């Protein structure tokens, strides 16, 4: 278990996610929790593609599996990261 600082949330080591909106000055990835939910902006940023690409992938069954929370699309960070790792392994 990692030591925690009251100013820094505990995260699983090794998971890096997209930059948050409004953090355009920094190109460094941020640590994320595996169960964190991402919206389409987060997924598109992490994968380096447009939101329209993510929507197109969903209609064809390609891409990381997402789900709806009410009317909103969400992805688990771990699902997106695992999907990219599997793509890499299959090349």
pLDDT in tens, 25-56: 555 667 878 789 999 999 999 999 999 999 99
pLDDT in tens, 67-79: 999 999 999 999 9
Residue-level pLDDT at 81: 94
Nearest to 40 by CA among 60, 21, 26: 21
The pTM for the full model equals 0.68
CB 78 within 8 A of CB 15: yes
Residue-level pLDDT at 12: 45
């Amino acid at each position: 278990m990692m030591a925690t600082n009251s100013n820094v949330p505990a995260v699983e080591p090794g998971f890096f996610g997209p930059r948050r909106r409004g953090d355009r000055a920094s190109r460094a990835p941020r640590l994320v929790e595996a169960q964190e939910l991402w919206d389409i902006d987060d997924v598109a940023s992490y994968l380096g593609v447009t939101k329209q690409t993510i929507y197109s992938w969903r209609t064809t069954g390609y891409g990381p599996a997402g789900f709806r929370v009410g009317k909103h699309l969400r992805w688990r960070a771990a699902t997106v990261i695992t999907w990219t790792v599997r793509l890499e392994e299959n090349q």
